Chain A
């Protein structure tokens, strides 16, 4: 272990530089976030991730945000275990009807002010599962969505860009 630790100390960090967000992207991603909301969001965000029936592809890339390469926490963003500690609900999946009660209860358990981020094509539009008897479609069918990050799944860089727009004031 000492050898691995020492090597890590001597090697250059593996962490990527923060992604550059073009103004056009910013406008597209965060059109609905008003200035007041941004001010309240401040410089740190606690995120509760909620799989509402995803294929787990989105979860893989959201988990990757926490690795040393993307190092989400350096931006003041962190995942929390309880919705009661969360500012942001990050929803994936085409809102499986079997998850509806759990989704509503999770959102209700969050203290206000709170925001919802829809991640992945399924949560943004229903994706390939739109129209299924078992799905409600996009997250906005049940929740007030503030930010949409499309992709199947969105890459960690796309996720980071989206989340950073929440913090831009």
Chain B
């Protein structure tokens, strides 16, 4: 085990980057790190471009875990590809290339990713955009007797997001799934550039609507790190309250949705009611069902009042009463178990290699949760366990989620008991005349969200990069479905519930 600091000297860190160091490296150093990613306890957290510079965020799982951002100045717009050594970086580099125009030299899969040839320009984040890419896309070839292709999407049959799945089947059995994403690309990072902090926070909160609290929190924490703002304790605790409500709403909704995909309507109906209860409690507490724009740089926008407290206590009572009965029904229904157990297995080695977070990673034995392992307040003052399973199937993912709801109920109880009094927002003054940078990692219901930003001298966002947990989960869905029957795809897919919008940005 080589500690990251042996290759990367934090003493050479660039000034003005908080809270973790950003270390400029040369191409040799860059490749040394790339070659050791995915093993050695090092996890790739993100890879993005800022002008002519590429950044790579890496976590060293040593105790205490260390996060480092490594930067390389490109030469003539090219840099050595990371994915040549570390395949989980392939889609990140394809996206980086499509947006910035920088070329990862030796990129094993040079096909476009986010750029479908429809924008009218190429490399929209480059100072000088290039001509548009050609439309058209070549899927990987699969050869063999009796194989047939099934093309699904981008428009799917349900009320869900768009993306394309290309299945190659042998009869009912899926031989290979290839995803093509990017359909919901909205140019978020280009809109973020030049925005004020408050406007950028609203944009970040729309990276993925189901994780709006987590994104707003990640963005706010990165901005506060860059500006050196200390958030009032009450706001810190209210943020965690919102984050746990969001986690509960998503997990309970998805539990119902997975059961619905197995045509077990009663759990779906009851989970739908419980999800609605969470959203109504959120609306009573903070004035918005999804709590959009409630977390702002410096604190929170709305305080919790007496009616909100009453609503939360009623909500926790209802979950305490109803969740165990639903979990028991799920567990004891053999027709459901027949569909869920052993379906869509993800091997532990893969989640480790991809640094796959959230319930997908934890259901395959990756014992990682940002709230505990890269802790941020108030979680360092709260008691909770991180549920981990090792089976890696749909059933394990659902159990991780059920147990996480239970933990969130416990966390909210502690938050209500210990909620400090005082101000809910500190002033943020981003204009200092010095460009500064901040980075943050936050645990959404889906896994770790990474936010990085650089402020310009006037205090506006010069560049902001957001990385969704789905970026390291989507590729594993392709692995999970291999060898399963295609009829089990909806169940596998929903048990992951990757974000299209958060991935496509």
**Partner-B contacts on A (CB < 8 A):** 1, 3-5, 14, 49-64, 66-69, 79, 81-83, 93-94, 96-102, 106, 128-129, 131-135, 152-153, 155
A57 CA to B207 CA in the complex, in Å?
10
Q: A1-B329, A102-B155 are in contact. Are A97 and B118 (CB under 8 A)?
A: yes
Is the beta-carbon distance between B186 and A129 smaller than 8 angstroms?
A: yes
Residue of A nearest to B257 (CB): A63
Chain A residues whose CB sits within 8 angstroms of the CB of B160 once the complex forms: 51, 59
Q: A4-B266, A98-B184, A129-B186 are known contacts; what are 11 more A-B pairs with Cβ within 8 Å? A: A4-B270, A49-B159, A52-B162, A55-B206, A55-B207, A57-B210, A67-B275, A96-B185, A98-B116, A128-B202, A129-B191
Q: A3-B325, A132-B187, A134-B187 are in contact. Are A57 and B124 (CB under 8 A)?
A: no
Interface membership of chain B positions 332-361, coded 1 if the CB is closer than 8 angstroms to chain A and 0 otherwise: 010000000000000000000000000000
Q: A58-B209, A134-B119 are in contact. Are A68 and B272 (CB under 8 A)?
A: yes
Interface membership of chain B positions 158-178, coded 1 if the CB is closer than 8 angstroms to chain A and 0 otherwise: 111110000000000000000
B419: Cβ under 8 A from any A Cβ: no
Interface size class of B (residues with CB under 8 A): 35 or more
Q: A4-B325, A51-B161 are in contact. Are A60 and B210 (CB under 8 A)?
A: yes
B444: Cβ under 8 A from any A Cβ: no
Give the distance to chain B from A139, nearest Cβ to Cβ, in Å: 14
Is the beta-carbon distance between A132 and B186 smaller than 8 angstroms?
A: yes
Interface membership of chain B positions 104-147, coded 1 if the CB is closer than 8 angstroms to chain A and 0 otherwise: 00000000001010111100100000000000000000000000
Q: A4-B329, A152-B292 are in contact. Are A51 and B212 (CB under 8 A)?
A: no
Give the distance to chain B from A138, nearest Cβ to Cβ, in Å: 14
Is the beta-carbon distance between B157 and A81 smaller than 8 angstroms?
A: yes
A152 CA to B184 CA in the complex, in Å?
17
Is the beta-carbon distance between B272 and A132 smaller than 8 angstroms?
A: no
Chain A residues whose CB sits within 8 angstroms of the CB of B120 once the complex forms: 97, 133
Is the beta-carbon distance between A128 and B206 smaller than 8 angstroms?
A: yes
Partner of B273, one of A69, A94, A101, A102: A69
Chain B residues whose CB sits within 8 angstroms of the CB of A128 once the complex forms: 191, 202-203, 206
Q: A68-B272, A134-B187 are in contact. Are A60 and B124 (CB under 8 A)?
A: no
Is the beta-carbon distance between A60 and B119 smaller than 8 angstroms?
A: no
Chain B residues whose CB sits within 8 angstroms of the CB of A66 once the complex forms: 159, 272
A14 CA to B277 CA in the complex, in Å?
11
Is the beta-carbon distance between A134 and B124 smaller than 8 angstroms?
A: yes
Give the distance to chain A from B497, nearest Cβ to Cβ, in Å: 10
A64 CA to B280 CA in the complex, in Å?
12
Give the distance to chain B from A59, nearest Cβ to Cβ, in Å: 5
B500: Cβ under 8 A from any A Cβ: yes
Is the beta-carbon distance between A82 and B187 smaller than 8 angstroms?
A: no
**Which 10 A-B residue pairings sit nearest by Cβ, starting from the closest?**
A57-B209, A67-B272, A134-B187, A81-B157, A132-B187, A55-B209, A97-B118, A55-B206, A56-B209, A98-B116
**Partner-A contacts on B (CB < 8 A):** 114, 116, 118-121, 124, 154-155, 157-162, 182-188, 190-191, 202-203, 206-210, 212, 253, 266, 269-270, 272-273, 275-276, 279, 283, 289-290, 292, 325-326, 329, 333, 499-501, 504
A129 CA to B500 CA in the complex, in Å?
16
Chain B residues whose CB sits within 8 angstroms of the CB of A132 once the complex forms: 186-188, 190-191
Is the beta-carbon distance between B499 and A94 smaller than 8 angstroms?
A: no
A49 CA to B188 CA in the complex, in Å?
23
Q: A58-B209, A134-B119 are in contact. Are A53 and B191 (CB under 8 A)?
A: no
A-B contacts, 11 of them at CB < 8 A, read: A4-B326, A56-B500, A60-B253, A64-B272, A94-B186, A96-B184, A96-B185, A98-B118, A98-B119, A102-B155, A128-B206
A70 CA to B474 CA in the complex, in Å?
32
Q: A133-B190, A135-B187 are in contact. Are A59 and B159 (CB under 8 A)?
A: yes
Is the beta-carbon distance between A99 and B183 smaller than 8 angstroms?
A: yes
Chain B residues whose CB sits within 8 angstroms of the CB of A96 once the complex forms: 183-186, 504
Give the distance to chain A from B108, nearest Cβ to Cβ, in Å: 24
Give the distance to chain B from A58, nearest Cβ to Cβ, in Å: 7
Give the distance to chain B from A34, nearest Cβ to Cβ, in Å: 28
Is the beta-carbon distance between A1 and B118 smaller than 8 angstroms?
A: no
Chain A residues whose CB sits within 8 angstroms of the CB of B119 once the complex forms: 97-98, 133-134
Is the beta-carbon distance between A57 and B182 smaller than 8 angstroms?
A: no
A100 CA to B135 CA in the complex, in Å?
13
Is the beta-carbon distance between B159 and A63 smaller than 8 angstroms?
A: yes
Chain B residues whose CB sits within 8 angstroms of the CB of A1 once the complex forms: 266, 329, 333
